[in-house]
């Protein structure tokens, strides 16, 4: 066995000695077996959720089935459904029904200096994300929508785990997933948008609409919206099960119908429909259903283009659109209820040719009056033929390390934070214990299982830029050692020296093979 853990010996062994993942106090060139645990592991508080690593693609289709009155149909069985891909029936390999449960799942408490990034328990239902869009919404309509959300949460509704984000120049997480409506209500009550940062001049600022009611946005506004949806899709992909994205906005700033522009006697056309489809495809791949809720309510403006884009995205992802209504709080409640009960159908495609082309999915149900909503398809990307953009991966990881970014869960870990006081500064050591089921190991020509991860600590002071500590670990394991590791955790360690004060530590891990990421936040007071 060869394991390189970046200054791991012997200090990490002293910090997480009981984890005994693959590193003992021995030299990293040791070929010996992994030492057995001699006592319970204080870091492994909950059993890690296994993640499937497969050489073939599993397609997951969440289906919301409702009757003529819009109520969920609860008594359907696997044989009632027929799944068709590009006109050919598929064999359903797994079937399940999901309904919200009132009983909260108990979560084991972590030690005071240990933090993890396991996704929140969602009972047997789904996760909800509320996105309050200030960049694509008139100020007065945004304020009205915000008040309606506060009104809804003031009533103390019973909710599934829900997070709140804001889009106002960039994507900001206002509150991570919680089932406490008061906590969400408080962050919304104190949220003040930064205002539109993409207005090019005073004339555009005077009115965000043309005479048709469409948005007066620039390329920057479109880019911010696109990047935010793309990042949300990637961040939510690590959370298991269905996610409902409740997008409170006046509309998407893209026109599905090509616009003709005249300039210097040259006519050009702008067609943004491929961009809308790309965003919808990213959401579908992450099991995210989009529920756009019109923030403008009933009005005189014809916002056909913006509304059409929202409806197209909702339909492609299996969601539903709410517009021309002033009761935004009802739209939020209805969206949450609509997506909370659903069926999941899983199948391995009969077509094993991974040609990157879009494949259409159709689900049929022999039940008169039933209406089905589900994702419309996927791109035929095999397990090993996805295109990797190194610059985009680096950007995404940097974005994941922002304080206002959601906790990424593609790679799951626990981290123990310890402080060694010194003169004028203190040394903060973070010992990561990474769930090996979330790391992609590759069998090399040397018959060893190889893996490589980056472990990162960003320490945010009250003001100023973060203080960073970044490094990596690599592993090359014999089969028996690899199998033993799967019962434990992969260690990695980073240290940073900090002056006295209060800091927020952003902790991150990236699998350099799969480019999956994990991140979370830990607050610490340095004496």
pLDDT tens-place values along the chain, 527 residues long: 444 443 333 333 333 333 333 333 333 323 333 333 333 344 443 444 444 344 457 899 999 999 999 899 999 999 999 999 999 999 999 999 998 876 555 566 789 999 999 887 666 678 999 999 888 887 888 888 899 999 999 998 988 899 999 988 788 999 989 999 999 999 999 998 875 544 444 444 444 433 334 344 556 677 888 888 988 998 898 888 899 999 998 876 555 445 544 455 555 556 667 777 888 888 998 999 999 988 876 554 555 666 777 888 889 999 988 876 777 888 888 888 888 899 999 999 999 888 888 999 999 998 999 999 999 999 887 655 555 667 878 888 998 999 988 889 999 999 999 999 888 889 999 999 999 999 999 999 999 999 999 999 999 998 889 999 999 889 999 999 999 999 999 999 999 999 999 999 999 999 999 899 999 999 999 98
Please report, for residues 215, 471, 491, the alpha-carbon distance to residue 245 in angstroms, rounded to integers and kept in the order given: 22, 34, 35
Longest dimension (CA), the chain: 80
Burial (0-12, 13-18, 19+ Cβ within 10 Å), 75: exposed
Tokens of 79: 């044989």
Q: Label the pairing between strands 358-365 and 288-294.
A: unpaired
Which numeric CATH code is attached to 127-340?
3.40.50.410
SS3 at position 243: strand
Tokens of 346: 């899983």
pLDDT of residue 6: 37
Question: ∠ CA 449-452-457 to the nearest 5 degrees?
Answer: 150
- Our separate counts of H helices and E strands in the chain read 10, 25
Pick the closest to residue 364 from 121, 162, 42, 82 (CA basis): 82
Enumerate the β-bridge partners of residue 246. Answer: 130, 291
Q: In what order do the strands lie in the sheet with 413-421?
A: 114-116, 413-421, 426-434, 490-498
Tokens of 241: 């099960």
Q: Count CA atoms within 13 Å of residue 412 on its CB side.
A: 22
Domain with CATH 2.60.40.3880 in the chain: 2-52+390-526
pLDDT of residue 406: 85
Q: How far apart are the first and last CA of the chain?
A: 40
Q: Where are the alpha helices (H) located in 374-425, listed in sequence order?
A: 390-400
| Concatenated DSSP letters of 13-25 | HHHSTTT-SS--S
Q: What count of other Cβ atoms lies within 10 Å of the Cβ of residue 420?
A: 10
Pick the closest to residue 517 from 194, 268, 283, 235 (CA basis): 235
Q: Based on C-alpha coordinates, what's the Rg of the chain?
A: 25
Which numeric CATH code is attached to 2-52+390-526?
2.60.40.3880
Burial (0-12, 13-18, 19+ Cβ within 10 Å), 300: exposed
Rounded Cα gap, residues 245 and 336, in angstroms: 9
H or E element: which one contains 291? strand 288-294
SS3 content of the chain, % helix, strand, coil (to 5): 20, 30, 45
DSSP 8-state class, residue 464: S
Q: Is the peptide bond before 211 cis (omega within 30 degrees of 0)?
A: no
Region of 224 (left: φ > 0; alpha: ψ -120 to 50; beta: rest) is alpha
Phi, psi of 148 (to 5 degrees): -65, -35
Rounded Cα gap, residues 160 and 178, in angstroms: 8
């Amino acid at each position: 066995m060869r394991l390189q853990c970046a200054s791991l010996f012997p200090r990490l062994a002293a910090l997480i000695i009981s984890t005994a993942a693959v590193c003992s106090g021995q030299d990293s060139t040791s070929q010996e077996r992994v030492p057995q645990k001699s006592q319970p592991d204080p870091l492994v508080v909950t059993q890690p959720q296994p993640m499937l690593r497969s050489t073939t693609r599993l397609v997951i289709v969440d289906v919301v089935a409702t009757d003529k009155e819009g109520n969920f149909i609860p008594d359907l069985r696997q044989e009632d459904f027929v799944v068709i891909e590009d006109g050919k029936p598929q064999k359903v390999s797994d079937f399940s029904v999901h309904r919200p449960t009132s009983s909260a799942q108990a979560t084991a408490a972590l030690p005071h200096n240990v933090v993890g990034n396991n996704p929140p328990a969602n009972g047997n239902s789904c996760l909800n994300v509320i996105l309050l869009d200030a960049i694509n919404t008139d100020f007065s309509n945004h304020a009205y929508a915000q008040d309606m959300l506060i009104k809804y949460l003031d009533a103390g509704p019973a909710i599934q785990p829900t997070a709140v984000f804001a889009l106002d120049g960039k994507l900001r997480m206002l509150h991570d997933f919680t089932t406490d409506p008061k906590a969400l209500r408080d962050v919304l009550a104190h949220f003040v948008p930064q205002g539109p940062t993409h207005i090019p001049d005073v004339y555009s600022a005077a009115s965000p609409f043309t005479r048709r009611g469409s948005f007066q946005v620039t390329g920057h506004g479109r880019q911010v919206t696109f990047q935010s949806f793309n990042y949300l899709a990637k961040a939510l992909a690590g959370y298991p099960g269905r996610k409902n994205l409740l997008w409170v906005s006046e509309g998407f700033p893209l026109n599905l119908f090509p616009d003709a522009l005249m300039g210097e006697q040259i006519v050009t056309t702008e067609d943004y429909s491929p961009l809308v489809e790309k965003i919808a495809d990213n959401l579908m791949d992450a099991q995210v259903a989009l529920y756009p809720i019109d923030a403008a309510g009933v009005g005189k403006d014809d916002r056909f283009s913006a509304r059409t884009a929202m409806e197209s995205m909702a339909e492609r992802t299996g969601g539903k659109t709410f517009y021309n209504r002033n009761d935004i709080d009802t739209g939020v409640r209805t969206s949450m209820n609509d997506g909370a009960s659903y069926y999941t159908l899983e199948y391995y495609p009969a077509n094993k040719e991974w040609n990157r082309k879009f494949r259409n999915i159709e689900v049929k149900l022999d039940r008169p009056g039933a209406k089905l909503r589900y994702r419309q398809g996927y791109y035929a990307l095999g397990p090993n033929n996805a295109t990797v953009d190194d610059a985009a991966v680096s950007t995404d990881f940097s974005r994941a390390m922002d304080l206002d970014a959601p906790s990424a869960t593609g790679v799951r870990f626990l981290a123990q934070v310890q402080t060694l006081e010194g003169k004028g500064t203190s040394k903060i050591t973070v010992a990561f214990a990474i769930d090996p089921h979330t790391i992609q190991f590759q069998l090399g020509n040397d018959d060893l299982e190889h893996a490589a991860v980056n472990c990162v600590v960003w320490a945010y002071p009250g003001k100023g830029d973060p203080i960073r500590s970044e490094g990596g670990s690599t592993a090359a394991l014999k089969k028996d050692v690899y199998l033993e590791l799967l019962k434990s955790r992969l260690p990695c360690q980073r240290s940073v020296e900090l002056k006295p004060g209060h800091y927020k530590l952003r902790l991150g891990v990236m699998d350099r093979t799969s480019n999956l990421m994990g991140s979370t936040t830990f607050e610490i007071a340095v004496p």
